[in-house]
Structure 1
């Protein structure tokens, strides 16, 4: 998967190809990516620390949320900076080894983010459909997470062989691209469609199947309770606990944010793979805006988690209080130092006026 079709591929013959430039639309993309990077880095790091230290979150759910935050951080620190810097420099200056490595890490981060959502969906399905099997949830989730990370590495590994640096001597331009790695156009299309399937179609189908089965189970349970088949028996298999239902709602919203954010970008990618001339038809800002909108998904996960998890909000509030108290302590320390140094400085220097003393104290306090 390429993040910017006009830059990452040299699909036209070098004799007819024109080097891209840092356009106004690309400048907007870089600015928006930088803002998303700052927010995603802070929020996902806070989420990672909160889940790691949290005591209210169930033990079998903690590895899932830690993996989700880790995948989002990989998207934040690999995909976003790579995309922003690449759009600014336009051509590639990192060499062949870095070209292969970063293209691999980019696809690895995107696969990991999608597959971990699949693992979370499978965990919620098992928790709702088989509530009495909670003891095996911890080991089961660890196995599924290991499989998700392993598959992400394997599926991203072809990037190490497909992408390389290519130089166009006629325009003195060097790019990291997949040009020349496929002997036929249809081979490149098949490769891209394969990753579109593994990144989007398969995760979407599995997640849709999981939540459809959950909704069907809840509906059937509601019908049984309404019909009065088991009015006296109220065990864990009959009524879904509020905490479990709250977690279910949270995971549904997280999955929906993934679908909403990435669907337009992937649909545009399909259009490009089958009709490359679409780059001349659609405005450039549309391509950039849809990729930025897809990256917005990285910022949504901590927001959704914070909305459904009071402990995360409490951790953020405690962190803000700690920062505020630390700032107040620093200010008081500066005030004490200015008070101590005042008499000593007057022994060797002419005594300033009262207004100057006041101004100096204000400056020291501000620093």
Structure 2
């Protein structure tokens, strides 16, 4: 053994210095570690606070108690839980390349990760159904999108991902056929979610590609119908408009704006998570040779989606900005604040 080999040995750091078969730590410069912690902690805090504002706003202000907003409330709860239960532990694993929290919690963490991601896209899928009836069948919207219907949507959005995530991980169906690879990389301080070829495709299809395709199809149809309605209103006979016509025009404009906003939420979701799910499918077919840093970049791009949703609400929804001001200034604690109007007078 020459001097260079001895130097390389001294440079290797382990997750658990006094434990046999400990995983090696990813040695990074102080600058890169600091930058990564700043970015990731910033994302966690923004995700937590942004979604908390949505949760407080919709639960506190009676004006916001609508079917669509109950779905948005549940999705904000999903994103908030992700920021509390998943992202902090993923941050330490991504930066240190070590898992310090035990094998059981590794499985629970992986389950929560899959569950909350799948729950988010299920919510978005049902929100697109809600928007479909609001724009394409407005006369029957109130009778079709009732609170019991929303409760069924929420039950499906939460129950299926829970059974899917915990059932898959704890049954270990996802690692059948790749036991040799797992045994080769196994060490103390490792927490990775490995998918075999079958479940890499199935999990991505169930959690992302199937509901995502449904959403895209629904929104394309919605935009086609909305554009047709806009043309019909814009090219109608030149006559003095009645109050009901003005009201219909304003309602159509409001629904169109809400639909565009929610479609942007969906579009951001797809762009954030698409690289990760493509990687999940392809990784088993390239013998799990994806670089760890690339995997982490795609994973955190997906996490950032939970941070972007409240920002989109703030950009497009005046009620969100007004509610935020009331929360920050403490006006929300005043008596009868829940009955104050969050909408401009003309709406």
Same fold (TM over 0.5): yes
Tell me the SS of whatever aligns to 2:145. Answer: helix
What are structure 1's unaligned runs of at least 5 residues?
A: 1-16, 180-186, 324-367
Q: Report Cα offsets for 1:145-197 as digits up to 9, x if no partner.
A: 21111111121121122289x99799963434567xxxxxxx81111211111
> Does the aligned pair in 1 maintain the 2:98–2:190 contact within 8 Å?
yes
Query: Does 2:135 align with 1:120?
Result: no
| 1:22 corresponding residue in structure 2 | 26
2:170 aligned residue: 160
User: Residue 203 of structure 2 corresponds to which residue in structure 1?
Assistant: 195
Q: Does the Cα contact within 8 Å between 2:226 and 2:256 map onto a contact in 1? A: no
Counterpart CA distance in 2 for 1:101 and 1:171 is: 18
Alignment of 1:75-224 (within 5 A): 75-88=82-95, 90-133=97-140, 134-138=142-146, 139-157=148-166, 158-162=168-172, 173-177=188-192, 188-224=196-232
Residue pair 1:63, 1:142 contacting (<8 A) in 2 also:
no
1:270, distance to aligned residue in structure 2 (A): 3.1
Q: 1:178 to 1:322 in 2, by over 3 A?
A: closer
Partner of 2:319: 311
Q: SS of 1:175's equivalent?
A: coil
Task: Supply the distance in 1 between the matched residues of 2:269 and 2:26 (Cα, whole angstroms).
Answer: 29
Give the equivalent residue in structure 2 for 1:40: 47
Structure 1 SS opposite 2:64: coil
CA distance in 2, matches of 1:125, 1:244: 10
Name the TM-score, length of structure 1 as normaliser: 0.70
TM-score (norm. length: structure 2): 0.74
1:121-144 CA-to-partner distances (Å, cap 9, x unmatched) read 110001111111213312322211
Structure label with greater radius of gyration: 1
For structure 2, the residue ranges without an aligned partner over 5 or more in a row are 1-20, 176-180, 332-347
Pick aligned residue for 1:288 from 290, 296, 306: 296
In the other structure, the counterpart of 1:12 is none
Task: Pick closer, same or farther for the CA change 1:229–1:203 going to 2, 3 Å.
Answer: farther
Shift of 1:92: 3.6
Give me the whole-angstrom Cα distance separating, in 2, the residues matched to 1:172 and 1:247.
50
Cα separation, partners in 2 of 1:18 and 1:123, compared to 1, 3 Å = same
Change in CA separation of 1:20 and 1:208 when aligned onto 2, cut-off 3 Å: farther
SS in 1 for 2:159: helix
Q: How big is the alpha-carbon RMSD for the aligned residues of Structure 1 and Structure 2?
A: 3.5
Moved more, 241-250 or 251-260: 241-250
Aligned residue among 272, 275, 279 for 2:290: 279
Per the TM alignment, residue 20 of structure 1 is displaced from its structure 2 partner at its CA by 4.5
Query: Which stretch of the first structure deviates more once superposed, 240-249 or 62-71?
Result: 240-249
Kindly tell me the number of residue pairs found equivalent between the two proteins: 297
Secondary structure of the corresponding residue to residue 66 of structure 2: coil
